[in-house]
Structure formats: C-alpha cells, structure tokens
Amino acid sequence: MAVEKEKKTCGQLMGEWKEFVWNPRTHQFMGRTGSSWALILLFYLVFYGFLTALFTLTMWVMLQTVDPNIPKYQDRLAIPGMMIRPKTEALDITYNVTNTESWENYVKMLNGFLEAYNDSRQVANNEFCPPGRYFVQPDNGVMNYPKRACQFNRTMLGSCSGLVDTTYGYREGRPCILVKMNRVINFFAGANKTMNISCAAKKEEDALKLGDIEMFPANGNIDLMYFPYYGKRVHVNYTQPVVAVKFLNLTANFDHNVECKINAANIATNDDRDKFAGRVSFKIRVDRE
Ligand SMILES: *[C@@H]1O[C@H](CO)[C@@H](O)[C@H](O)[C@H]1NC(C)=O
Ligand SMILES: *[C@@H]1O[C@H](CO)[C@@H](O)[C@H](O)[C@H]1NC(C)=O
Ligand SMILES: *[C@@H]1O[C@H](CO)[C@@H](O)[C@H](O)[C@H]1NC(C)=O
Ligand SMILES: *[C@@H]1O[C@H](CO)[C@@H](O)[C@H](O)[C@H]1NC(C)=O
Ligand SMILES: *[C@@H]1O[C@H](CO)[C@@H](O)[C@H](O)[C@H]1NC(C)=O
Ligand SMILES: *[C@@H]1O[C@H](CO)[C@@H](O)[C@H](O)[C@H]1NC(C)=O
Ligand SMILES: *[C@@H]1O[C@H](CO)[C@@H](O)[C@H](O)[C@H]1NC(C)=O
C-alpha cells in the first residue's frame, strides 16, 4: 500500500508542479500569495535600502574628514626631515678625482635636481617676494585657490649652481652637496625668526680634517618667504629652498662623516628616534693620489 502511494505517474507529477507554480484555487504563485510576495519584496527593498544608506552615510562622514590637499597621514612629528642631493642609498658620496665615471653621476643628479631652479624658469613661474617674512596666501573663501611660489634662483647657489663650474667642484675635489628640508604642509618654519643650516664633522676631532666649508646662500640662510607650503595640488610651481655646502679643503682618502642640521626656533634636531628630524648625516670621501 505504502509503496503504491509513493508511485505517481508522470502526468500527476506535472500536475503537481503546475499547481505549485500557479495554484488557481488559492491564487498562490510558487507557494505564496501575491500579498506574501509583495511583503517579501518590500522587506528586501527596505533591508537593502537601509544597507545602502548606512554605507553612504559612513562614506560621507569619512570623506568629510579628508582634505584633498593635505595627506591624511603626514609623517610629521612637527619636525621636518632633511635630505641631501645627490642622494645615494646610503647617503655616501665617494669618488675618485681622477676617475671621471666615479663622479659624473653625482653631477647628473645635481643637474636634474637644479633644472627647476633655472633663473629663467623661476622668473617665468614664480614671484619675487619680499625677504624676511612668510608668504601667506589665504584662500579668502575660494577653496583650493592656486598659490604662488617665491623665486629661488639657481644663481643664488654661487659656485655650487653648476652654471659657472659645471662639475660642482667634483672635478677638483671640492664637491658641493645640496641640503634641503622636506616639505611640510602649512608649517611656519622658523617661527618668524631667521633660520639657517649648518654643517660640521660628526666628531669634533675630525673638524680640521674636514676643512673649511662655504655655504650658499651665505651663512646657509633659509628665508621665511618660502613658507608656508600649501601642498602640491595648489602650490604647483613651488620650489623648496636649498642650501649648498661646498667642501673647500677635504682631506683626501678619508671617510668624512658630516652632519647638517637646521637651526630654527621651532625645529628640534635632537630626536633620538628619528635621525632625519631636522638633521641629516652623510659620508663624503674623495680619493686622489
Ligand atoms: C637650465 O639651465 C642650464 C644652464 O644654463 C641649461 O643647460 C638647461 O638646459 C636649463 N634647463 C631648463 C629646464 O631650462
Ligand atoms: C605655474 O607656472 C606656469 C608656467 O609658467 C604658469 O602658467 C602658472 O600660472 C603658474 N601657476 C601659479 C599658481 O603660479
Ligand atoms: C632671479 O633672477 C632673475 C633674472 O636674473 C631676476 O630678475 C630676479 O630678481 C631673481 N630673483 C631673485 C629672488 O633673486
Ligand atoms: C610673524 O610676525 C608678524 C609681524 O610681527 C606677525 O604679524 C605674524 O603674525 C607673525 N607670524 C607668526 C606665524 O608668528
Ligand atoms: C644660525 O641660526 C642660529 C639660530 O637661529 C643663530 O644663532 C646663528 O647665529 C645663525 N648662524 C649664522 C651663521 O647665521
Ligand atoms: C687645507 O687643510 C690642510 C690640513 O688638512 C692645511 O694644512 C691647509 O692649510 C688647508 N688649506 C687651506 C687653503 O685652508
Ligand atoms: C683613483 O683612480 C686612479 C685611476 O683609476 C687610480 O690609479 C688610483 O689608485 C685611484 N685612487 C684611489 C685612492 O683609489
């Protein structure tokens, strides 16, 4: 009996299937009435609508906290880092005067870096600013209003400009190194007081071996006019100030460890955790007969 009951003909199965898809008696489609389907549809509509709204709201709130002109995470301990040019991986400038190949790459790097500082380009792109004070450019209500930059002429680097002496002193063993401070957006470096960069042998007893150095601009000064920096999106023609250091009388065939630091009222240079904070150390060695 039981076995017989489970046996259904093909026609019966088709009938059941048809009834499941559409049951004319109960007006059910796929086992549910129209109102039941409508309720399910409504539920999912509300459910996904809610999810979309939640996502949108979260996104919106997050974007409110993002200023497109300022990186959200600036590696900034209120202390700008310093860097040199030419830059090598280990900040190690070593070459042999008689071996041109050993220094021509340094010259190339300096040429590349200083192209943007060509006087003609500075005059075409940037403004002549009054020295000794910040070049503050408020938005005046216009968001992301383009900012002008102040001229920093290549000729201000004197014999380290690569214009008169095209090898920056490398050929004669009196090389130039450029020292710069990394850009920090909206930072008023110097706190309204003059600042400068100074370089010295890392160990005091090596000072004589390092010999005299010459700085360009004079005294390693960095003018306030180059601050603040407003970020690359609005401050498109900005060229950061640099200081050139010329080693006049390096003792040859000796590893000189040099430290350059910035002397500015609001920049600490003694952060033990960050050896690039307000200072930079590098090695320079000139080999010759
Ligand atoms: C910058 O000036 C140097 C020397 O005058 C020149 O060789 C170089 O082509 C100039 N570069 C640009 C980009 O103007
Ligand atoms: C940047 O330099 C270009 C080329 O000289 C100039 O057309 C543009 O106006 C400058 N932009 C600003 C904001 O100074
Ligand atoms: C840069 O050089 C140009 C042309 O030599 C000059 O007119 C301009 O005043 C100089 N700018 C600065 C800041 O010295
Ligand atoms: C710098 O000094 C000027 C004039 O004394 C003053 O108006 C300005 O607010 C000062 N700026 C800062 C950042 O201290
Ligand atoms: C460099 O700046 C420091 C502090 O701002 C100052 O004491 C020193 O005299 C300056 N050095 C030169 C050579 O101008
Ligand atoms: C260069 O340094 C040596 C010692 O390292 C010294 O005897 C010599 O007088 C110095 N020359 C100049 C021009 O300062
Ligand atoms: C510098 O290079 C020359 C020529 O290649 C070589 O004879 C000399 O030994 C080198 N000097 C040093 C100190 O390496």
Domain spans, the chain: 15-63, 82-287
| Residue 196 CB less than 6 A away from ligand 5 | yes
Tens-place pLDDT, residues 155-176: 999 999 999 999 999 999 999 9
Give the residue carrying structure tokens 């909206």: 186
Residue 282 CB partners (closer than 8 Å, separation 6+): 84, 91, 92, 93, 177, 257, 258, 260
Predicted structure pTM score: 0.79
Tens-place pLDDT, residues 210-223: 999 999 999 999 99
User: Going by CA atoms, what residue is nearest to atom 14 of ligand 7?
Assistant: 287
Report which secondary-structure segment, H or E, holds 198.
strand 195-201
User: Going by CA atoms, what residue is nearest to atom 4 of ligand 3?
Assistant: 119
Q: Does residue 114 carry a pLDDT above 80? A: yes
Which atom of ligand 2 is found nearest the CA of 234?
13
Architecture of the domain spanning 82-287: Sandwich (2.60)
Confidence at 1, pLDDT banded by 50, 70, 90:
very low
